Amino acid sequence: MVATVEVRIFLALLSPNYEKFVVTLCMATLSKILVLCVGFALSCNLWAQSHTDSEQTDTSPLKIGRDALGAVYYCIDNNALDLDRVDYSDLYETYMTPIEGQLFEDCTQLFIEGKLRLEPTFLKTYSYWNGNAYDTPVNGVLGNDFRRIEVYFYPDAVKSDSVTYLVKGRIKVRKNVCDFAGEVRIKKIYHVYERDIDSPDCYVIIADYTLKEDTTQKGSGEFQGVMGAYGYVTEDAPEVIQVNNIDQDSDGYMNRSYVGTWRSYKNPAVVKRCMWGDNRLPFRFDFDIGAGEIVVNPKYSSPEWDNFMQWKDIEVVEPESGDSRATYKNPWW
């Protein structure tokens, strides 16, 4: 104690501002402690946020996979889909958009400038039988009961500006048929370079669509959402994107998919999930339980889906020589 007092007296003799110095030193120490506490708190918060984001990513229906060559791609976990979610169009757009790790080029400006274009029948609906195309609507689902919806686009789509196509067609749900008119507006076109030399490069087309049914017709409403498609070009016409139907007979073939909603004119509060496209749908929930081709879950069975599963809508002609061909039995469009 005596020694401490003597040291203090000695320091005081050396510096008349000793007390002020001690106060300043204490304040500086407190400031450092405060900075450390704040930094620790922020670190904890960032850790918690990243942990939460990781959990959200893990529960997202979109998963990132890699092929045999290491190329990354999105895949959809149908077990993670939520029936309470009506609109999956934004998730579908993300699914169609190339991700880091893929080799791609944004060709949207080339399309706007007219240096790249879609083939005239790119938006028209048709199906395949034994490798041959035939005139027919495409199938989809409406609502949580996955009611069958048939959609037919007429071939005379008109380009109204650099990115917008005016389209017309008809839609059938059960026995109810409605005419529609609307637009498909191109948002993005990507040239995706395949790493596998045996696979051709492809073009990814992403568009917004709005289709308005005739307000005077029964059960009419408006469709909105995102369309995604795959195309390719040839050496003979490198400026024309054709529908990529090379694998149309393969298991899991999916193209020109429309993902969005339908809103009733009569009761705008009624909004239902709606999807359609060539062959398989991107979001299948527990509706499509097939391994290679569409197989409708028996819980969603209906006369309309039974007709589809048993090929009752089409007539197959098998000539004595040559490949068999199919036609739609009773065109309603």
pLDDT of residue 295: 95
Asked, for residue 317, whether it belongs to a domain, the answer is yes
Asked, for residue 275, whether it belongs to a domain, the answer is yes
Residue 16 corresponds to which tokens in the numbers above? Answer: 């008349």
Chain mean pLDDT for the chain? 84
- Of 246 and 183, the one with more pLDDT: 183
Which of 58, 78, 94 marks a domain boundary? 58
The confidence band for 269, taking pLDDT boundaries of 50, 70 and 90, is very high
CB hemisphere CA count around 215 (13 angstroms): 4
How far is the C-alpha of 240 from the C-alpha of 233, rounded, in Å? 6
Asked, for residue 288, whether it belongs to a domain, the answer is yes
pLDDT tens digits for 229-258?
Answer: 999 999 899 999 999 988 777 778 899 999
Global pTM reads 0.81
pLDDT tens digits for 293-314?
Answer: 899 999 999 999 999 999 999 9
Please tell me the least confidently modeled range out of 41-55, 205-219, 272-286.
41-55
End-to-end CA distance of the chain: 105
Residue 183 pLDDT greater than 80, yes or no: yes
Please tell me the least confidently modeled range out of 137-151, 172-186, 207-221, 278-292.
278-292
pLDDT of residue 125: 94
Residues of the domain holding 192: 86-328
Which of 12, 39, 58 marks a domain boundary? 58
Residue 136 shares a structural domain with residue 53: no
Asked, for residue 64, whether it belongs to a domain, the answer is no
Contacts of residue 83, defined as CB under 8 A and 6 or more positions apart, other chains included, come to 144, 285
Residue among 254, 252, 276, 256 nearest 143 (CA)? 276
> How many independent structural domains does the chain possess?
2
Residue 132 shares a structural domain with residue 214: yes
Residue 151 shares a structural domain with residue 286: yes
Residue 234 shares a structural domain with residue 284: yes
pLDDT of residue 196: 63
pLDDT of residue 197: 63
How far is the C-alpha of 305 from the C-alpha of 147, rounded, in Å? 8
Residues in the chain: 333
